[in-house]
Amino acid sequence: MIFIPFPALPAIPASCSTPSEIPFNDDKLPDPFLFNNGAKGYEAGTLPPKPPQVSSTFTQSGLTGNLTVTAGFPDNTITFSSPIKFPNGTAPRAGWPLIIAYDGLSIPIPDGIAVLTYANSAMAQQNDQSSRGVGLFFDVYGQNATASSMTAWVWGVSRIIDSLESTPNAQINTNKIAVTGCSRDGKGALMAGAFEERIALTIPQESGSGGDTCWRLSKFEQDSGDVVQQATEIVQENVWFSTNFDNFVFNISLLPYDHHSLAALVAPRPLLSYENTDVEWLSPLSAFGCMTAAHTVWESMGIADSHGFVQVGNHSHCAFPSDLNPTLFAFLDKFLLDEEANTTVFETNGAFNGTVWNPAQWINWTTPRLV
């Protein structure tokens, strides 16, 4: 279940009990400013807390370092390593800002930021349906653990941050950590930003369905004649989501959330999302509509410039056109390098394959002003 971190509803009297599951059915996007207190897990599966054993070693030669993490239980641990590429020069007093890049970096970065390459596919495989329960995470928690592959990846990111916090000689500023990835790894990056509160900036690139799009909107696109990836297809392709999600993909209106709620979990921390309208299965209308709905959360907090969205075409999947550099560098400058920058950006080329985005059809809440 996804909960949104907003002010609590009025207290329930002690004599009343909260039902274990609250029925829900809505074709519109659920209001992200209301709680649903059901106990079920719908999509991501279970994210275990920090295990009792977490230790690390760090080595560096020139501008290349290596962080080796050991994590798990006294009788069952795993070990994985992540290379770190450091900038030239002397580290700032607080350490270098860092980008954790799922399966490698696919965006440019300015000087002064270190990059850690995270082998998330080793943590939890994502080949096809046969990948479920396979990977280092499941070596710790068992093949039948209820985590999805993306949840397992978040667990690995958290152990990396744990280790960096206890490894001062790595000279990483653990208050200035970003996460990014493209396509399937963009889905994972968004999930990490949502559930790991120590991530200071989240940059999913072309994450598509299961990332910065909404299941309801992707179904609408598919029903309108577009060829997009919707829930019924994505659960057949891979193991990114919990098997619980299979129970909802044929009636997505029963979900008491959608991915605007997932994005909202990042708030008030900054989120910058890139999408590509040339790749139809990325659900271009769904991405714009979903992030439009999510944007109301940052607006409600008075920090709309902490949520950016850019949707263009004329480039191949996971390529990054150089004319997008200014928006990207603005977010990196402001939120990792503590420099002045204008991060007000929310734009699309509107290439939705003839399908019309009508916000009133999907968003029926009034954005409150939260203090």
- Residue 122's φ and ψ, nearest 5 degrees, are -75, -30
Indicate which residue of 163, 183, 218, 306 is catalytic. Answer: 183
317 part of the active site: yes
Helix (H, G, I), strand (E, B) or coil at 76: strand
Rounded Cα–Cα distance for residues 264 and 271 (Å): 9
Q: Which helix (H) or strand (E) holds 361?
A: helix 359-362
Quick one: tokens of 134?
Answer: 């396979």
- Both tokens assigned to 237: 């392709």
> Which one of the listed residues 55, 81, 131, 317 is annotated catalytic?
317
| Best CA proximity match to 29, nearest among 363, 367, 366 | 363
Alpha-carbon distances, residue 120 vs 45, 68, 87, 139, 208 (angstroms): 17, 14, 23, 14, 18
Instruction: Let me know: does 103 contact 118? Beta carbons within 8 Å.
Output: yes
Give the burial string for 11-39 (b: 16+ CB within 10 Å, else e). eeeeeeeeeeeeeeeeeebbbbbeebebe
Pairing of strands 64-73, 76-85: antiparallel
**266, β-bridge pairs:** none
Q: CB within 8 A of 233, min separation 6: which ones? A: none
* 223 alpha-carbon distance from chain centroid: 26
- Contact criterion met (CB below 8 Å) for 172 and 161: no
Is 259 considered catalytic here? no
Any bridge partners for residue 68, and if so which?
Answer: 57, 81
The DSSP secondary structure of 199-243, one letter per residue, reads --EEEEES--TTTTS-HHHHHHHHHTT-----HHHHHHH-SSS-G
> Any idea which residues carry the catalytic annotation?
183, 317
